[in-house]
Structure 1
Amino acid sequence: MEYLLGLCAEWRSDNRVIECVKEGEFLESTPVSGEVCVMAPKTTTPMLARLRALMKNTAHVPQPAPRLHRALGGRTPAYLSISCGQSEYIAPCDQRRAFISGFTGSAGTAIITEKDAALWTDGRYFLQAGQEMDDNWTLMKQGLPKTPSEAKWLNKTLDVGSVIGVDPYLLEADVWRDYSRELLGGGHSIIPVPENLIDLLWTDRPPRPAECVVPLELKYTGLSVEEKLASVRRDMEEENAFMIVITALDEIAYLYNLRGSDIEYNPVFFSYAAVTQDEAALFLNKSQLTAAAIEAVSTKDCKVTIRPYEDLAKFMSEQLALHFGKVWICNHSSQAIAQLVPKDKRLSKLSPIALMKAIKNPTEIKGMEFCHVRDAAALCRYFAWLEKEAPRGNQTEISAADQLQKFREEQDDYVGLSFSTISSVGPNAAIVHYKPTLETDSRITTKEVYLCDSGGQYKDGTTDVTRTLHFGTPSKFFQECYTRVLKGVISVATCVFPTKTKGNCLDSFARKALWDVGLDYGHGTGHGIGMYLNVHEGPMGVSWRSMPDDPGLQEGMFLSDEPGYYEDGKFGVRIENIVRIVKAETEHNFRDRGFLTFKTVTLVPIQTKLIDPTLLTKNEVEWLNTYHAECREKVGKVLLQQGHKEAYNWLMKETEPIG
């Protein structure tokens, strides 16, 4: 039997934006009227029929090579059209999975065969996917013991001997390798397909963004382009690599000290980069570069060559003909780019820029800490304002988020939001990645919990902070949940660990107080954060999942500390701070490893009326009081300088020491 299989997750043409994903779920939401509103799922029957017709069309789907066909016993092959990857924020033109399935969450994989349509996503999105997809789709709940992986499902679903065709630009090389190995074991094979079938269906697909690219000054970056290139070239020498090819957009922006806006919330731009010992090439639409950007990368020491976006393959071919040695390509680059280099010349490992970017230099550290103080001032103004508005019931999730943005816009060096504000009331607060819409917009009152997860992009840093508040009287159970989440925050913030400890080793610190009473949360505990770059930044993180690229936690990294708890249909609790890794003073130093701890850089009050103090230890009370004293000192000073006495008074009230 003939199958054609289409698998698509949201992704952009080869380039990665973000490795880490924001944790979230989707629930039925309460609109302004107070009635439960369930969004109607997207009708996909006509599109799936058209897609399946394209699957059988040999004009778009190539036949396998005769040798491969004979090896499979002459069976009619199957094909796989993939649009896949790990990007959380992408341009509208690349939202292929949402187009074909209706599911708009930030992570998921859709597979379409001649008979079946299935979507894989994790616990953050079970409810959302169930609401947004129609009956044509089967939800595959990742993380549950009985849910098979995509490859295992394919091996079970397809007839033995199927050939699976894949768009090679939209599947990472290491994922391609893993799929190929597992599917080969099931009697199948993967071959590249030149056209993405989803794109053929998408007649009103938005155009590719091409926004301005501007330089970021040395007073913010701390290192010049020349210094960054020299460091990369030293790493290349150690690996005997004559060239490195860079496809991750945040790495390119970081390396060349440039920023753009092709991806919403992320100051990046569509591009490739390649570095040899003699040349640094930047492949993009040159018209996007401002005159200042061209000047910044055209100094005699920098020597960056601007080339058309489409010329990467030609450049790589020319360099391969001229040089011996290895070509360094990140294992997350697309299969299409990786296969341009012969296997014996390919060095497939994490880019050195990823670690350089993650370990902030002194200038970046100073900027990150200062922008968090200014951001905290905006949040104090917001929560003070909201405390007065909540009893009136005039503000909704959307109108409140708009007001928060206005407060941020008044801060120095503000550029924009770092992600769409999660402004959520009551049941919506249980949706970790909730985004209010006109249909689900709920009023903020004194009757239900309010959870706000938000962040800003500043020229000197990126922020991400979550606070959960109640402007009325919370239940005892809610207080217990809130306090246990806070205990997790403090446990992570105060832990001491050896240098280069993997992030997943710390995850249990955040969960223990919840586990003690049989509670938990379904998302990770911490993600890296960029310096005026992506709000979620790898390669490190703190999660129950192991992270294969985690280089180990090191001094100068910034991560989030964000445990939570969520009661479906009732409420959600999350407290999120950004923490900086610093040296720890310890009595001993086992084998001279050096020990590290965290310094909290987010300075926004934690609502003490939600705490059950009987659940806190003496050390935890001391930590909270010390933290609030720092909020008073640093944020209070800024509020007074800015003339916001009302917000200052709110800050003083909210940071009164607890006994």
Structure 2
Amino acid sequence: MLATSLKQVVTRALKSTSNTITATRTMTAGTTAVRADTTAILADLRKLMAEHNVDVYVVPSEDAHQSEYIAPVDARRAFVSGFTGSAGCAVVTATSASLSTDGRYFLQAEQELDSNWELLKQGLPEVPTWQEWALRQAEGGKNIGVDATLLTASQAEALATKLKSRKGGELIGMDVNLIDLVWKDQPQRPKEALTVLDLEFAGKPFEEKLVDIRKEIEKQKGSGLIVSMLDEIAWLFNLRGDDIPFNPVFFSYAFITPTEAILYVDEDKLTEKVREHLGSVVTVKPYQAIFEDIKSFGELTATDEKKVLVTSSASWAMTKSIDKAKFTTLKAAPVESAKAVKNETEVEGMKYCHIRDGAAQIKYFAWLEQVLNSNAQYDEVQVADKLEACRAEQKYFKGLSFPTISSAGSNGAIIHYQPEKSTCALVKKDLVYLCDSGGQYLDGTTDSTRTLHYGTPTEAERKSYTLVLKGNIAVARAVFPKGSSGFILDILARQYLWREGLDYRHGTGHGVGSFLNVHEGPIGIGTRMQYNEVPLEVGMFISNEPGYYEDGQYGIRIENVVLVVEKKTPNNFGDKKYYGFDTVTMVPMCRNLIDAEMLDEDEKNWLNNYHAEVYEKTSGYFKGDEYTLAWLKRETCPL
């Protein structure tokens, strides 16, 4: 089983430091949330800032590997601010503090931040980014400090350039993290042993992957490649770990040259099986040794023609140790790009695990209907635990792929809501229930969202649901020429909401790993410009998840994982190949929320065909379970 929820760990840490922080409760959007008093923590931090000649201190969410999800030991931004969402950046000065986050977390941040903090709602008009806010505070020659391992080189360069133009002081890349000095009961770094992902699941020996990456290094005229993203390293060496909750990765770096592969990882994590697996092909060195070795990479390997290759995710601490004339920053990461296109074994594993995962969800949703009809009382945490138990019955299950978003009524409007036992709501028949969940299996990773109503939904709820469903179907049915990106597909999901003057504040899709991170680069469907830089390719898995959120009332999201496949078309303009999607998530839509009159014939046909496939592939899992099978038949019958 993978580690427990990061939010739970951080919340416990905030509550436990009674001499430093006081937890209070606030009522927002119909639910209770823990709001932390960060006064004492900020006072301690400001003393250290003065001692280190830092006027403005930046606390990013990410760890040294730019991970989206992090280990409890790296949850510094959550500790200092009290905000436990996965995205955001905190900035602290001698007299003020700000927390910048995106639209997924506006409501959550409003609940969790205390009066010491100014919330910067990222993306709204006239709201500064955290960089702009920090630069304003630094005007007049003030210094900005940051742990140099937590910013990328490009982020640091851009900030330093703007700081100079604004007549600020110096951007200080610090080798000590001030939050670590303040956080008295900071969790220890994980020490869990690594495991080998057998070839029946990986599909390709790591030695062959190294050959492919070395070809890319040669193509890019490199003398070697530094790999710092944890999922890239796990994939490259066919290894998995347990260092970050819900993500089967481990803290490590790698350096690949035409003749050598070095893995930087704590050696006490290596079992005999792992050592045998790596053999003589891979040299193992201590995790932190890369920062000493990196100083010599350029001197030992780089030439006038060939340079050390680093990716855009490499930390400032790494690149500033190499002579700028001896390294090149790549726009596209070779390992990330290779990992995103699943091999045949990975594709089949992902399809199979989504069927089993769908069966688990079907059993759960049928059970939930049964208990609600019996007037039994269950809260959001209890039903989420039941869903996990249903998944645990499935073959190859290793844990959840992220904390389950189990949200009833107004809590569903909090896009990345995570229920806590002490504050969560009851699930009721007369409330919209949104469940976004996923599992980790040896043969793949799942992520799906279903929104249900077990009573009598309002006309507005049915209309909102059907508008979102139409957007989901539009993406699922899309056909597009080879070379297209997720950026251009985003409008398909939003078009029906836009016609009503509605929208949602999150992307429409993200890449999905294979027994790896549930959010995987470099692809996505959304308005971020980087999604326009990478085309979708056959073998990639991506989510399709439009939504709509009525603050204080309900939230709706419908999410399927889809596979990019080649499509046959009547014509072939420009002699191009055409691609589309196969939906691999196998869970019915909510019949109770569908307004069939809003669907055209093509949409109805797609939905009927999808439901027929769901029934065909999952019904065999319910032999002897008459209630679940009857529920599945009802939910998948043709419109």
**TM more than 0.5:** yes
Secondary structure at 1:547 match in 2: helix
Shift of 1:609: 2.1
Bigger drift between 582-591 and 483-492 goes to 582-591
Distance 2:38 2:610 in 1: 51
Classify 1:437/1:602 alpha carbon distance in 2 versus 1 (closer, same or farther; 3 Å): same
In the alignment, is residue 322 of structure 1 matched against residue 339 of structure 2?
Answer: no
What one-letter code is carried by the residue in structure 2 that aligns with 1:55?
A: M
Distance 2:423 2:525 in 1: 32
Shift of 1:29: 6.5
What one-letter code is carried by the residue in structure 2 that aligns with 1:607?
A: C
Number of residue pairs the alignment of both structures matches: 606
Distance 2:145 2:419 in 1: 38
Shift of 1:416: 0.5
Q: Which residue number in structure 1 is paired with residue 11 of structure 2?
A: none
- Work out whether residues 452 and 592 of structure 2, in 8 Å CA contact, stay in contact via their aligned partners in 1: no
Shift of 1:79: 5.0
- Work out whether residues 502 and 552 of structure 1, in 8 Å CA contact, stay in contact via their aligned partners in 2: yes
In the alignment, is residue 595 of structure 1 matched against residue 578 of structure 2?
Answer: yes
- Work out whether residues 28 and 428 of structure 1, in 8 Å CA contact, stay in contact via their aligned partners in 2: no
Distance 1:127 1:654 in 2: 33
Shift of 1:387: 0.8
* Identical amino acids, percent of aligned pairs: 46
Shift of 1:28: 5.5
- Work out whether residues 565 and 573 of structure 1, in 8 Å CA contact, stay in contact via their aligned partners in 2: yes
CA deviation vs aligned residue, 1:123-164 (integer Å, no higher than 9, x gap):
221221122111111111111111112232233333332332
Q: Which residue number in structure 1 is paired with residue 607 of structure 2?
A: 624
User: Please, which of 22, 32, 38 is the counterpart of residue 38 of structure 1?
Assistant: 32
Distance 2:365 2:625 in 1: 13
User: Please, which of 128, 131, 139 is the counterpart of residue 111 of structure 2?
Assistant: 131
Shift of 1:546: 1.8
In the alignment, is residue 143 of structure 1 matched against residue 123 of structure 2?
Answer: yes
Classify 1:397/1:311 alpha carbon distance in 2 versus 1 (closer, same or farther; 3 Å): same
Distance 1:357 1:549 in 2: 19
User: Please, which of 505, 523, 530 is the counterpart of residue 522 of structure 1?
Assistant: 505
User: Please, which of 77, 81, 85 is the counterpart of residue 105 of structure 1?
Assistant: 85
User: Please, which of 387, 391, 400 is the counterpart of residue 369 of structure 2?
Assistant: 387
Q: Which residue number in structure 2 is paired with residue 87 of structure 1?
A: 67
Distance 1:321 1:156 in 2: 40
Q: Which residue number in structure 2 is paired with residue 53 of structure 1?
A: 47
- Work out whether residues 426 and 571 of structure 1, in 8 Å CA contact, stay in contact via their aligned partners in 2: yes
Distance 1:164 1:382 in 2: 50
- Work out whether residues 111 and 119 of structure 1, in 8 Å CA contact, stay in contact via their aligned partners in 2: yes
Q: Which residue number in structure 1 is paired with residue 134 of structure 2?
A: 154
- Work out whether residues 451 and 573 of structure 1, in 8 Å CA contact, stay in contact via their aligned partners in 2: yes
Secondary structure at 2:451 match in 1: strand
Q: Which residue number in structure 1 is paired with residue 354 of structure 2?
A: 372
Secondary structure at 2:424 match in 1: coil
In the alignment, is residue 464 of structure 1 matched against residue 443 of structure 2?
Answer: no
- Work out whether residues 37 and 439 of structure 1, in 8 Å CA contact, stay in contact via their aligned partners in 2: no
In the alignment, is residue 253 of structure 1 matched against residue 247 of structure 2?
Answer: no
In the alignment, is residue 218 of structure 1 matched against residue 196 of structure 2?
Answer: no
Shift of 1:38: 3.1
Q: Which residue number in structure 1 is paired with residue 436 of structure 2?
A: 453
Highest RCO, 1 vs 2 (Cα 8 Å, sep ≥ 6) = 1
User: Please, which of 495, 516, 524 is the counterpart of residue 541 of structure 1?
Assistant: 524
In the alignment, is residue 273 of structure 1 matched against residue 245 of structure 2?
Answer: no
Structure 2: runs of 5+ lacking an equivalent: 1-6, 8-25
Bigger drift between 229-238 and 270-279 goes to 270-279
Q: Which residue number in structure 1 is paired with residue 344 of structure 2?
A: 362
Shift of 1:530: 0.2
Q: Which residue number in structure 1 is paired with residue 483 of structure 2?
A: 500
Secondary structure at 1:39 match in 2: strand
Secondary structure at 1:652 match in 2: helix
What one-letter code is carried by the residue in structure 2 that aligns with 1:310?
A: Q
Distance 2:552 2:178 in 1: 38
Shift of 1:469: 0.7
User: Please, which of 573, 581, 584 is the counterpart of residue 567 of structure 2?
Assistant: 584
User: Please, which of 189, 198, 206 is the counterpart of residue 208 of structure 1?
Assistant: 189
Secondary structure at 1:42 match in 2: strand
What one-letter code is carried by the residue in structure 2 that aligns with 1:170?
A: L
What one-letter code is carried by the residue in structure 1 that aligns with 2:136?
A: K
What value does the CA root-mean-square deviation take over the aligned residues? 1.7
Shift of 1:584: 1.5
What one-letter code is carried by the residue in structure 2 that aligns with 1:383?
A: F
What one-letter code is carried by the residue in structure 1 that aligns with 2:503?
A: D
What one-letter code is carried by the residue in structure 1 that aligns with 2:422?
A: E
Normalised TM-score (structure 1): 0.89
- Work out whether residues 240 and 326 of structure 1, in 8 Å CA contact, stay in contact via their aligned partners in 2: yes
Secondary structure at 1:232 match in 2: helix
Secondary structure at 2:534 match in 1: coil
Distance 1:232 1:88 in 2: 24
- Work out whether residues 120 and 130 of structure 2, in 8 Å CA contact, stay in contact via their aligned partners in 1: no
Normalised TM-score (structure 2): 0.92
What one-letter code is carried by the residue in structure 2 that aligns with 1:562?
A: E
What one-letter code is carried by the residue in structure 2 that aligns with 1:492?
A: V
Shift of 1:593: 3.0
In the alignment, is residue 353 of structure 1 matched against residue 335 of structure 2?
Answer: yes
